[in-house]
Amino acid sequence: MVIFSFIAELVFSVVIIFIALYLYFTRNFNYWKNKNVPYIKPLPFFGNIYNGILMRHCMGEIFSDLYKKSMKPFIGFFILDKPCILLRDPQIIKKFLVNDFQYFYDRNVLNNIRDDPISTHVLFVLKNPEWKEIRTKITPVFTSSKIKVMSKLIEDVAQEMVDYLGKNIDVNSTMDMKDISLKFTVDVISTTIFGVNAYSFKNKNSEFKEIAQKLFNWDDLLTAFRMRCYFLAPAIAKLFRMSFLDPYCTRFLKKCFLEIMDSRIVSKVSRNDLIDILLQLKNNDEQFMDGDILVAQAVMFFAAGFETSSSTMAFALYELAHHPDIQNKLRHEINVISEKHGGINFDSLKEMEYLDMCVKEVLRKYPVLPFLDRKATANYNIPGTDIIIDRDTPVFIPILALHNDPRYFPSPEKFDPERFSKTNVNNIENFAYMPFGEGPRNCIGARFGKITTKLGLAYILKTFMIETTRLTENKIKFNPKGVVLSSLTGMKLRLNKV
């Protein structure tokens, strides 16, 4: 009888707790209905991101799934119990990102100074007014003249990559071009930002490459969960005192950066890299660019730079292997223009229009950051409606979905660089194509990233033909744990010398 009573009390307690949790997690589910905003019916405890919480879909696919459930210009949805809004119409997106930027200058991603003093100063997660101050200071780093100087360092790495491939290709074997692209961009970022040679092609145990792989190791559930919480559920990340980037990686990068900077100050040697530029900024404003603020920018450029460029390169090589006619046309352009300029360099790249078209189409089909996030900093009336977006409401823009919407890009599954020809590019609706974001808070390193990607591709294609093999996926599967777009299985391709 005592056991029966105990079981009954336990069951009753569990039921009461479940009901309490149910009521708590569904308390906001009439939020959008009361505002007369079209919304997607949520599930208790999960909201509308069930597949995201279980990591069945990557974040780009999560928002694409929501995008396809309505044709309205904007729709309400829920992350757990939090009301959020998804923008679908390019003209409304323009108002949020540009015209009415003063209401949406902050990202939704958590800025956690208590538990992550380095990453909290990263430009990507900074809130206003600190964001505006640092953005203004860092913008001169990426002028065309400075990128042109740094491009000499990138060319050296590209030549090392080609030499490595020439020594290691086998006509009967495949190579993982995602790994090759990763080595290339890690070496590029290391030499242009930290002023050191990472030697990823010469040293299998390159520390910088190991750090790069650890930073965005989506197969590590803790990394995937931590990053997902920072973007989708900041309250959980703050509650469990999570860091944005892996603490071991940030400590390593901080130590390297400070040692190299001190050495540079003593030696007074100039390499025309990012450290030289940041030193100039520090000399001009010692108080503002001191300590963790300065280190954070180097960490940001490393973390953001290698992953975005390496993925874009790998996706490009995959598509070119599947489209030999496009590959041959591109190789012809590279050969003709590089001969005219005495090689592949910053100046010759500016004339390679078809290369630019190909890279733009890759970024259309595979935008590495497949969504944008913002947060309303004040109550905002959506123009042309009586709907008020309340302060602190997260706003999401589904870049991957827009780029693959047949209304804006007919036959979106087709890889077609001609979409971006001089004749056709003006037919693309504004704010339907945003691989680097738009408005004042767009990607500050977009030009640097494109130069890196183009140089890497041009050097490879001038020397090698890229082919598919039986190990090459017919359709790319995205890593379901990823925040950025990343191939689940790598890029298995065959290279043959031209």
Taking only the tens place, the pLDDT of each residue in 417-464 is 999 999 999 999 999 999 999 999 999 999 999 999 999 999 999 999
In this prediction, residues 393-414 reach a mean pLDDT of 98
Between strands 372-375 and 175-176, the pairing is: unpaired
Neighbouring C-alpha atoms within 13 Å toward the C-beta of 382 = 20
pLDDT exceeds 80 at position 291: no
pLDDT tens, position by position, 120-130: 888 899 999 99
Phi first, then psi: give them for residue 122, nearest 5 degrees: -65, 135
Residue-level pLDDT at 204: 86
Question: Of 70, 65, 74, nearest to 96 (Cα)?
Answer: 74
Question: CB neighbours (10 Å) of residue 8?
Answer: 10
pLDDT for 290 equals: 60
Calculate what percentage of the chain has a pLDDT beyond 90.
70
Query: What is the model's pLDDT at position 24?
Result: 83
- pLDDT value at position 354? 98
Measured distance CA(478)–CA(369) in Å, rounded: 13
Predicted local distance difference test score (pLDDT) of residue 314: 97
Question: Which of residues 171 and 309 earns the better pLDDT score?
Answer: 309
Full DSSP string of 53-109: HTTSS-HHHHHHHHHTT--SSEEEEEETTEEEEEE--HHHHHIIIIITGGGS-B-SS
62-111 confidence digits (pLDDT tens)? 999 999 999 999 999 999 999 999 999 999 999 999 999 999 999 999 99
Distance CA(173)–CA(44), nearest Å, equals 50
90: nearest Cα among 471, 341, 439, 478 = 439
Q: What is the mean pLDDT of residues 397-422?
A: 98
* Per-residue pLDDT at 293: 81
- Between CA 209 and CA 187 the distance in angstroms is 8
Burial class (CB in 10 A: 0-12, 13-18, 19+), 12: exposed
Query: pLDDT-derived band of residue 271, with 50, 70 and 90 as boundaries?
Result: confident
| Structure-model confidence comparison of residues 117 and 103, the more confident one | 103
Around 284, how many Cα atoms within 13 Å sit in the side-chain half-sphere?
9
Mean pLDDT of the chain: 92
Q: Kindly list the distances between the CA atom of residue 199 and the CA atoms of 154, 290, 311, 467, in Å, as whole numbers in the listed order.
A: 13, 30, 20, 27
Given the structure tokens 């990012």, which residue do they identify? Answer: 274
What is the pLDDT at residue 117?
Answer: 83
pLDDT, greater one: 169 or 277: 169
The structure tokens listed for 165 are: 């491939």
Residue 9 has pLDDT above 90, yes or no: no
Q: Where are the domains of the chain?
A: 2-497
Pairing of strands 175-176, 492-497: antiparallel
Of 142-156, 271-285, 322-336, 350-364, the one with minimum mean pLDDT is 271-285
pLDDT of res. 287: 61
- pLDDT for residue 1 is more than 70: no
What's the mean pLDDT in 318-323?
98
- Please report, for residues 141, 265, 371, 398, the alpha-carbon distance to residue 283 in angstroms, rounded to integers and kept in the order given: 15, 11, 37, 41
Task: Identify the H or E element spanning 22.
Answer: helix 2-25
Mean pLDDT for 199-204 is: 91
Greatest Cα pair distance, the chain, in angstroms, is 94
Token pair for residue 487? 């191939």
20-63 tens-digit pLDDT: 888 888 999 999 999 999 999 999 999 999 999 999 999 999 99
Across the range 369-375, mean pLDDT stands at: 97
The pLDDT-based confidence of 237 (bands split at 50, 70, 90) is very high
pLDDT at site 172: 64
Query: pLDDT by residue (tens digit) across 458-487?
Result: 999 999 999 999 999 999 999 999 999 999
Q: What is the rounded average pLDDT of the residues 175-193?
A: 94
pLDDT at residue number 257? 87
**pLDDT band at 153, cuts 50/70/90?**
very high
Whole-number pLDDT of residue 288: 57
What is the pLDDT confidence band of residue 490, given thresholds at 50, 70 and 90? confident
Phi, psi of 465 (to 5 degrees): -95, 140
Helix (H, G, I), strand (E, B) or coil at 10: helix
- CATH of the structural domain 2-497, one choice from 1.10.630.10, 1.10.3720.10, 3.60.21.10, 3.40.50.2300: 1.10.630.10
Confidence of residue 274 (pLDDT cuts 50, 70, 90): confident
User: Which residues lie closer than 8 Å to 288 by C-beta, 6 or more apart?
Assistant: 133, 137
Model pLDDT, residue 303: 85
- Cα(250)–Cα(254) distance, integer angstroms: 6
Of 51, 485, 483, 487, residue with least CA distance to 228: 483
pLDDT more than 70, % of the chain: 98
Q: What is the pLDDT, as a whole number, of residue 120? A: 82
What is the residue type of 263?
A: S
